[in-house]
Structure formats: structure tokens, C-alpha cells
Structure 1
């Protein structure tokens, strides 16, 4: 059974790919990005956007919550450009590259309006897409995201556990997973092997290194900063959104970044998931599912 096939055991699903015709990467345009995703369920579309890191994919990032959401929705967990089984062109990557890829994915599948859920780096991608394309989005759920917190000007004051950098070895991948997933029982041999197989694909490590360089560039380049930062815009977002945070998130601490987000956006529903780390949807999928159902069950009324 493949990693994609194991994502929704007991739930009918489909593993598919499409060609996203155009993705903008800094000043470059990449054509023909073959994009892999796993899909389950029927009904209104929900697109799940994974976080970053070695071996990341839609299947591995959302394996435990996807079949729960698929009871009510058509759920699509996409592999962003450079990750999973999607193409990995050797380009200069930025967070906006990922936003543009998500936009192309939604367009190619003809999804007129979507609900989005993003974890970590993926939470920033979903929010930035909603800011750029508000008419295409019903609601957004975000889960534990230092990237989005940084984009609104928050800092963790050194409390965060640094994410281990992937050096190509299985040991460095395991160290990374042990930082973002708190429940050791979820770090199965199958998960580790699936992520290591993806992390070893040509072009994946180059993407990780490019994004690492981009993060450094963000501290120096004002042009890149103005594309990345969303603070003033997010305060005016008309799309309903929510924030979910793991109580024991070590890489995006609740006490600094989570508390900062709650204070900055008091009108946004903020939920803390006990017993969860950075990947709350992996540590506590039932709690995350119930929170997302609450968000999605609300009438998607927009601010005037």
C-alpha cells in the first residue's frame, strides 16, 4: 500500500494529479507543474494545505483528519510545488511561489469557492490566498503557524525549539518529525519511510534549501518583505477564519506566538488543543475535526 493509499483507510478516496499551467516563482514563470493530491468524500470542497519540512505532502500531513472531514465534504489534500509527488522544478522558491501554486490548483480543478485549512507554513499559504482571492474562499482554518505569526509582525523571543535542518539523512528527518509531532505513537515506521522516500526525490532538498535562503532574504530585502507581510491586510479580511493551536507546540509556542495571535485578532475564534504539538491534526485529529466542523457549520457570513 502506498503512503497515499493509507491516508484514508476505510474511506473511499482517490489519488490523482493535474497539470497546473502556470506558477510564478519570484520573477520566473514555470509551466506544466504536475500536481499530485489525494481526494476523499463528496460535497463542498475543502482543500488541505500541508506545512513545510522534509518529506512533507498532503497525504502525510493530513492522514488522520482527512477521513473524518470526508464524511461531510469533498476533501483534497494537495502536494504543493516542490513537495510530495508534485513536480520539483529547480527554481528560486518563496512563500508566494506556494500561494501561486495553490491558486493554480484551485483554478485547474474549477473550484469556484473553497474552504481552506492550512498547518504551519501551509496556514500562511491559505491565508495569503484568501487575502489575494477573497471571492473564491468560504472559510479558512489555520493550525499552529509561526509563519503567519511572523507575517503579522510577531516574534517568539527565543522560546521556540528550532526545527532541525534536513541533511539528507533518515536521522535528521526523524529529528524533524519528533519536533513537530508530540505523540510518539504517530511516528510510525510507515510514516517515516513514506516521508523519507519523498524527501529523497530529486529536487525536494533543493526546494528546502531555496526556501531556507528565502527566509534569510526576508530579513534583508524590503521588496520581499512587502510581498510576505500581511498584518494590515489580515485585519480587514472579510473571509471568516479561525485559529487552532496545540497546547504543547514547541516550534510555534502557544505562550508567545499563539497568545500574540489571539491578542491581535480577538474577533477570530481561537481554540487550544490539549495534548497536541505543532501538528495538532496528527496528535489530536478528533478534536481538530470537531473544531473545523464548528467553523464550517457556521453560515459563511462575511463582514460588511
Structure 2
């Protein structure tokens, strides 16, 4: 396969139906980037201002495309995907991923998710286990919280995005530890996405949902996955940045390892919350080992 096949290409698909908390959204025009050939691998980005498939996975996607048909989705409300003004929940994002997988005709998939996206990927696997072969999770306070773990106040709060480039930079500096990886290209792309109509409304709606989950027992039992995850037969692994400031390794990461001792758990040195951005080669090699594929040599 030529090198060009490993480079992401912009694509669009219309997802016929996505369920929100109190209404249904029809015809969600969905953007994604794809590269490579072979078995499908769906990448699910994390949350935060300006998040998208391209910005969340840019450094590792060409590496993974050496082995797989990689699809990095812009989740509903993010990137260039439609941003309907609905009540967002995590299930809205899960349903959107399900719609993308169906719309693209992907019968069985591997998934990798980062942060909030790891919860979305894992929740998709729990809801559709027959459609999933393996799941990789990277640094996820959301999933850790959904199995009952707490950070004991050690997590660095994420800066609030107020619509300015400066606040976006502050946010990115919290989740990516290597300043060299915070290029003007990356910041420009995320700021453009963060400035699109409907994106901040989605962020605010999802933040309200997160607060609701802490207060409403009915929503808590929908969000929590501890018992379901213990019964999941789909193989999954956990990767965690050694220097993750927002989802501390010593509390949330260690807690996940203790709860699920049979699940492969790897600490990525010199990496923060977006380990795939800080250390793409290391994360790529760990994922390839989990997927049972030898990493391709990079000349």
C-alpha cells in the first residue's frame, strides 16, 4: 500500500437517526476522516472545545492506517458534523457512533476512544457486543467515574472555554503535555471548530447532563457501567498517560487496574491526557500489540 493511502481523507455520511434525551434528530450530516484498508477501526475523540476526529487523532491515524481501514468520526455537535440544538447526553454520542457504523456498512469493528470518547466507545461495545471485536481505551475519567471511581481531588480542573483562542490554548495545554505538539495548525483547527454555530451550545448541554448525572439517581443508573463491564466478553485494554493531569493515574488509572486486573493496562511514559498526541509511536505500538499485529517499521 502506498504512503498516500495512510493519509486521512475528508468524508461525509448522513446518519438517518440519532436519539437525544427527549427527541429524535433525523438526517445528521456527519463528517469523518478515513485512511488505510482492511478491517475497520473506529476512533472516537474526546470532549472539549473544538474536538474532532482529525484533531484528536492526527498524529496516530496514519500509523494505524498501515494496518486498518481507520475511520475517525466527528461526533454529533463537534467538528464539521451537524450540531442540532437538542439535549445532549453520553447516550446521544453513543447512538451517533452506532448510526455511523451502520451508515458506513461496517459489520464488525474495533474501536479506540480517548477520554470521554473512551466511555462512548465502551458503551457502544456494551450495547452492541456482537458488532465489536476489540476496544482500546485511553485515559478516561468518564469511564472511571462510570465504574464508581473518584479522583480524590487530585485532578487539575479543565479551563473554561469562553470563546477566545487564549482559553482554547489553556485547555489544550492541560490535556497535551508536550508544547511542541501544540502547533499553530492544531490550535487553528480546534479554534475554527470551536467557533462554529451550535458547538458551544452542545458543550453547555453536555455539561448540564454531567451535572444531572451527579444529582439524578435515574440518570446515574443509565450512566453507570460497573456491573455490565465486568461481564463484557469483548476484549479491551486500558492505556494511561503517566503524567495525566486531568485524569490522575494514581487514583483513576490505578483504580481501573485494580477493578479489572485481567484487562491489559499500560502506562505511557511522558504522556498526558491525550497520550496519542504526546506519544503517538508508543501508543501505536501498544495498540498493535493488543490487536495482535506487528507494528510497521517507519523508515
TM-score (norm 2): 0.96
2:225 is aligned with 1:216: no
RMSD: 1.1
Q: Which runs of 4+ in 1 moved over 3 A?
A: 8-13
Q: CA deviation at 1:10?
A: 8.2
- Cα distance, 1:152 vs structure 2: 0.3
Secondary structure of 1:87's aligned partner: coil
Partners of 1:9 and 1:28 in 2: CA distance: 41
- Describe the SS at the equivalent of 1:235: helix
Map of 2:148 onto structure 1: 153
Unaligned runs of 5+ in 2: 294-299
Say yes or no: does 1:108 pair with 2:98.
Answer: no
Distance apart, 1:14 and its partner CA: 2.0
1:140 and 2:132 correspond? no
From 264, 275, 282, the counterpart of 1:269 = 264
Q: How far apart are the structure 2 equivalents of 1:206 and 1:9?
A: 37
1:3 corresponds to = none
Which digits, 9 at most, give the CA deviation of each residue in 1:32-63, with x for residues without a partner? 10000000000000000000000000000000
Deviates more, 1:289-298 or 1:205-214: 289-298
1:175 and 2:167 aligned: no
> Would the aligned equivalents of 2:174 and 2:246 in 1 still touch at CA under 8 Å?
yes
Supply the distance in 2 between the matched residues of 1:23 and 1:97 (Cα, whole angstroms). Answer: 7
Between the aligned partners of 1:284 and 1:13, the Cα distance in structure 2 is 19
**Alignment partners' CA distance in 2, 1:273 and 1:90:** 38
Count of residues in Structure 1 that have an aligned counterpart in Structure 2: 291
223-232 or 275-284, larger mean C-alpha shift = 223-232
Distance 2:191 2:103 in 1: 29
- Give the match's secondary structure for 1:23: strand
Correspondence for 2:277 = 282
Instruction: Report SS of the residue matched to 2:231.
Output: coil
Distance 1:56 1:270 in 2: 26
More displaced 10-residue stretch of structure 1: 142-151 or 216-225: 216-225
| Structure 1 gaps, min length 5 | 1-7, 299-304
> What corresponds to 1:207 in structure 2?
202
